[in-house]
Chains A and B, each alone.
Chain A
Amino acid sequence: MENQNKYWLIPFSFAVIIVFALVVYVFYEIGIDKRVEEMRIKAEEMALEGNFDAALNLAKSGLALRPNHKVLQQDLTLINFGKTLYQKLETAKKDADDKEFDKALETVSTVEKELENRNGEYFDMLRKLVNKYKGEIEVKQIYYLVADKNTIDELADALSRLAYIDNPEAKKVDKLIREKIVNIAYSTANEMLKDKQYNKALEVIEKALQYDSSNDKLISFKKTIIEQKTAFEKAEAQRMEEALIAAAQEEAINRTNAVRVLSIKGYTNEYGDLIIEGEIENVAKRPIYTVEVYYNIYDADGNVVGYGSAYVYPSYLMPLQRGSFSNMHYGIFNAAHVTVTRVTWYLD
């Protein structure tokens, strides 16, 4: 009887153990629920930080435990979307490194379209990511394109494109381009200075100063150009003044002293007439014509015994050209010498 009474203990103890085990198990599963929830929160956090792989692992592990977790399923899709997008951006970045900029930017714009009309924190993060890559690719492209640009206008266009991009790399390239503008302006202006094109050179310097007003090299070069321009204009004005003075002096000679008498003499010919002959030279720098030489005839005592004038032949005399004149007087027998009193001429 006592034995018989104790048999019920077998199922009873089993039942107790089983119930206990089940209770433990239920708590275990509740723990898993909590863990999965933590995984979900962590996964979403990771995804929002852009850590797609970690987020993906967490979501997958969570789903392995709770395959019907609708939120996790959706998260998984979204994380995969983000990861694919990230991979596309990485590909675009590689394309950009291989100078395939059009292809890279094409990829970026496809990705941008995928994000259109999507709202929320996650998509904002993805948009930011896209913009970051886009900016980096554009900066690379600008940097690459600028290498063989050698005019200030082209470089200014590059600066305009850079102005829309907000990243540290853009700032660096912006600085490089401004330096290049300064260098190009300097060498261009230098060439213009050699050609004495001062205003053109100043224009180039002024244009470059718009992009870096504090550049000492340009500021001092501008001063140099202005100094040289002033010196040039002064020298030119001086040369022209000298020319005008010389021309005025020449004009004075032309008007007052154009004729130099080379010789004049008188002699009596076989018929007893007094022949006056002479030669003159046009010492003016202009042609002269109708040159008339006036002279007096003196006797041995220095008394004027006659006078006259003669036209020079040829009538038109080029500078340095010589001409001669002659005249005949009758009835003067005591002529001793002849002197020219006056010469008249017309300037051509």
Chain B
Amino acid sequence: MTRSKNSLIFYLAFTIIVVDIGLIAFFFINKQFHQQVITGSSRLGSLVDENPQVENSKGNNIKAIIAENQEKVMYIEVDNGGDVVSGSGFLYNTNGDVITNAHVVGDAGEVKVKTYDGHEYIGTVIGRGRDVDVALIRVPGLAGKTPVKISSRKAEVGDPVIALGSPLGLQNTVTTGIISGVGRTFTIPPYEYKDVYQISAPIAHGSSGGPLIDQNTGEVLGINSAGASEGSVGFSIPIGQVLPLVENWSKNPSKSQPNEYAVSAQDQFNEGQSIKDEAIVLIEYFYECINSHDYVSAYALLGSGWQSRISYQNFRDGYLRTKYVSILDIMANEKYNNRVEVIVTIEALEITTEGTERVSQYLCTYEVGYENDQLKILKGEFKKI
């Protein structure tokens, strides 16, 4: 009995040991699993900054970009009545629309478009900028071809760029450089270049209209448009400025008319003289006409409203008794809307019905303004003083 009791105790103790080992094993396994260090790769990437891998593949990148874009750059030839102008352009969409400069196409309705592999097409000008130097040519033969990629960002100073075009008629010329300035504004009548890129690549004659391409992405940043005559500087119109126009023309292609109502360059630069001065000259001329009895010329200076209220005969008869008019004082005030009020004090030598001479002074107030582009006397009031 004692022996069996002893043996029971032994087995119970052994059981406890077994349970302990089991527990230890459990905790060990639990710890092993819970605390295990799991490594591997995440789809989210790593925490450390990676260096862009552009550096070593840069040369290849430029070559690839040039190869990809060359076939989308066109050589454009415009026959302006015997005077042949050449330029560049690039394929904008799958309709065969080619973007170029307005100054390249001029007033032409049709232009010759040559691809880099020598194919020649005829294109129709379907849009022409009035103050932005851009035009759109539709070339049915190029429809369906892959167009250039348009950048969705504005270029910044220092961005490396490639200019493609045909300077001096040398087709497929590549020039590299950087954006050397932004926000340049100038005017080459009739075009205004507002907020354009300055690039370190020169834009020679014939390169005009070619694309300015981002060296990193191969996307078009602008249209190369003008070069300075000195130094290696070129200017390129940001693509964002021309897209609103080009999109419209592409959507509503119409045989674009030359800018028949454009303000002539001379007009724009004739602003040295203010409208006030012009108005004074006009009134003085009016009295010169009266004094030399050229009443038709004087009448011609009146605005249409005044002319319709008073016939030439009545106008002329108003001066039957006036022998001579001298201007004592003349001054002009600019009013709203480009109108000028001219106040003149005149002294008129008149003959009375009795045949005697009489000197009268009048205060005349004229309103002078433009009518159908001509400066006219629109209204007049006279007060005897």
Residues of A at the B interface (CB closer than 8 Å) are 3-4, 7-8, 10-11, 14-15, 18-19, 21-22, 25-26, 29-30, 32-33, 36, 40, 44-45, 47-48, 65-72, 74-75, 77-79, 117-123, 156-157, 159-166, 174, 178, 195-200, 202-203, 206-207, 210-214, 229, 232-233, 235-236, 239-240, 242-244, 246-247, 250, 285-287, 314, 317-323
Task: Determine if B373 and A67 form an interchain contact, defined as CB atoms under 8 angstroms apart.
Answer: no
Task: Determine if A10 and B42 form an interchain contact, defined as CB atoms under 8 angstroms apart.
Answer: no
Query: In the assembled complex, how far is the CB of residue A333 from the closest CB belonging to chain B, in whole angstroms?
Result: 35
Query: In the assembled complex, how far is the CB of residue B86 from the closest CB belonging to chain A, in whole angstroms?
Result: 25
Nearest first, the 8 A-B pairs at minimum CB distance are: A18-B22, A120-B45, A243-B312, A318-B351, A159-B244, A29-B33, A163-B243, A213-B252
Task: Determine if B320 and A119 form an interchain contact, defined as CB atoms under 8 angstroms apart.
Answer: no
CB neighbours (8 Å) of B39 from chain A are: 70-71
Task: Determine if B245 and A211 form an interchain contact, defined as CB atoms under 8 angstroms apart.
Answer: yes
Task: Determine if B323 and A15 form an interchain contact, defined as CB atoms under 8 angstroms apart.
Answer: no
Q: Is B217 an interface residue (CB 8 A)?
A: no
Q: Is B30 an interface residue (CB 8 A)?
A: yes
- Interface centre among A11, A174, A232, by most chain B C-beta atoms within 10 angstroms, is A11
CB neighbours (8 Å) of B353 from chain A are: 320-321
Task: Determine if B152 and A196 form an interchain contact, defined as CB atoms under 8 angstroms apart.
Answer: no
Task: Determine if B323 and A239 form an interchain contact, defined as CB atoms under 8 angstroms apart.
Answer: no
Task: Determine if B44 and A47 form an interchain contact, defined as CB atoms under 8 angstroms apart.
Answer: yes
Query: In the assembled complex, how far is the CB of residue B313 from the closest CB belonging to chain A, in whole angstroms?
Result: 5
Q: Is B216 an interface residue (CB 8 A)?
A: no
Query: In the assembled complex, how far is the CB of residue B270 from the closest CB belonging to chain A, in whole angstroms?
Result: 15
Task: Determine if A161 and B38 form an interchain contact, defined as CB atoms under 8 angstroms apart.
Answer: no
Query: In the assembled complex, how far is the CB of residue B298 from the closest CB belonging to chain A, in whole angstroms?
Result: 10
Chain B residue at minimum C-beta to C-beta distance from A191: B337
Chain B residue at minimum C-beta to C-beta distance from A196: B371
Chain A residue at minimum C-beta to C-beta distance from B22: A18
Interface SS of chain A: helix, strand, loop or mixed?
helix
Complex: how many Å from CA A123 to CA B42? 13
**CB-CB contacts below 8 Å: B296-318 with A:** 296, 299-300, 304, 307-308, 311-313, 316-317
- The stretch that binds A, out of B3-11, B64-72, B327-335, is B3-11
Query: In the assembled complex, how far is the CB of residue B353 from the closest CB belonging to chain A, in whole angstroms?
Result: 7
Complex: how many Å from CA A78 to CA B311? 88
Task: Determine if A163 and B240 form an interchain contact, defined as CB atoms under 8 angstroms apart.
Answer: yes
Q: Is B36 an interface residue (CB 8 A)?
A: yes
Residues of B at the A interface (CB closer than 8 Å) are 3-4, 7-8, 10-12, 14-15, 17-19, 21-22, 25-26, 29-30, 33-47, 49-52, 127, 129-132, 151-154, 194, 238-241, 243-245, 248-249, 251-252, 254, 259, 261-263, 293, 295-296, 299-300, 304, 307-308, 311-313, 316-317, 320-321, 323, 337, 351, 353, 355, 369-373
Task: Determine if B372 and A233 form an interchain contact, defined as CB atoms under 8 angstroms apart.
Answer: yes
Task: Determine if B35 and A67 form an interchain contact, defined as CB atoms under 8 angstroms apart.
Answer: yes
CB neighbours (8 Å) of A210 from chain B are: 127, 129-130, 132, 245, 248-249
> Contacts A25-B26, A285-B317, A287-B323 known; A75 to B51 CB distance under 8 Å?
no
Task: Determine if B371 and A197 form an interchain contact, defined as CB atoms under 8 angstroms apart.
Answer: yes
**Pick from B12, B239, B296, B337: contact of A247, CB under 8 Å:** B296
Beyond A3-B4, A210-B127, 8 extra complex contacts between A and B, CB < 8 Å: A48-B43, A122-B43, A164-B240, A195-B369, A203-B130, A236-B304, A240-B300, A242-B311
Q: List 25 A-B contacts (CB under 8 A).
A: A4-B7, A14-B15, A33-B36, A44-B44, A68-B35, A70-B39, A78-B45, A121-B44, A122-B44, A160-B241, A160-B244, A162-B244, A163-B244, A165-B152, A174-B244, A199-B261, A200-B373, A210-B130, A213-B252, A214-B252, A239-B307, A240-B299, A247-B296, A319-B321, A320-B320
CB neighbours (8 Å) of B370 from chain A are: 195, 197, 200
Query: In the assembled complex, how far is the CB of residue B333 from the closest CB belonging to chain A, in whole angstroms?
Result: 18
Task: Determine if B11 and A246 form an interchain contact, defined as CB atoms under 8 angstroms apart.
Answer: no
Chain B residue at minimum C-beta to C-beta distance from A41: B43
Chain A residue at minimum C-beta to C-beta distance from B243: A163
Chain A residue at minimum C-beta to C-beta distance from B357: A318
**Pick from A74, A118, A236, A286: contact of B42, CB under 8 Å:** A74
Task: Determine if B45 and A121 form an interchain contact, defined as CB atoms under 8 angstroms apart.
Answer: yes
> Contacts A119-B50, A213-B249, A287-B323 known; A10 to B12 CB distance under 8 Å?
yes
Query: In the assembled complex, how far is the CB of residue B262 from the closest CB belonging to chain A, in whole angstroms?
Result: 7
> Contacts A69-B38, A78-B45 known; A118 to B50 CB distance under 8 Å?
yes
Task: Determine if A207 and B14 form an interchain contact, defined as CB atoms under 8 angstroms apart.
Answer: no
Complex: how many Å from CA A225 to CA B18? 108
CB neighbours (8 Å) of A229 from chain B are: 372
